Amino acid sequence: MTTRICVAIRSFEKHPLGLPACTRRVRLPDKRVLYTVLRSPHVDKKSREQFHMITKKQLLVIDTKANELQKKFFWLKRQRILGAQYEIIFNSKTRLDKGKLQALLNKETETSPAADLGLKSIISS
C-alpha cells in the first residue's frame, strides 16, 4: 500500500529545501500582478511608475509506504518554510479483495427488488 503526500507551496521567492530522494518537484505557473502608480497627480500624468509582484508556485510529491508515513509527516512539520503558504494533501490507495466484494454485491442483489426484475447480471458485470 503506497501513500502519496502532495505539498502545494505558494511564496514570493524560491525555497531551496533539503528534499529526500523520493521527492518530485513540479513547477506550477507563476502569477504576476502589475501595479501602475502616478508619480505626480497634478501636472505630469504621463510620468508613471510600475511595480510588480510575482507569486511562485510549486508542488512537491512524495511517495512513501504506509509504515513510513509518520516519519515523512514529522519531517514536513520540521521544515521551516518561512514566508510561504503551503497545503498538505494525502492520497492513499488500498487494495480490495475482489472475491469478498463480489460476494457482498451478490448478497445485496439477492435481497433487493432489482433481483426480482432480472437486473442481477447488470449489477454484477
Q: Cell 523520493 maps to which residue?
A: 22
Q: Residues 116, 120, 121, 122: is their CA dihedral positive or negative?
A: positive
> How far is the C-alpha of 109 from the C-alpha of 124, rounded, in Å?
9
**pTM of the model as a whole:** 0.56
For the chain, which residues make up each domain, given as ranges? 2-94, 97-125
Cell numbers at 107, concatenated: 448478497
Which residue did the predictor score with more confidence, 97 or 120? 97
* Res. 106: pLDDT tops 60: yes
Query: What is the CB-side half-sphere exposure of residue 120 using CA atoms within 13 A?
Result: 15
> How far is the C-alpha of 27 from the C-alpha of 52, rounded, in Å?
20
Tell me the CATH number for domain 2-94: 3.30.70.600
* Res. 16: pLDDT tops 80: no
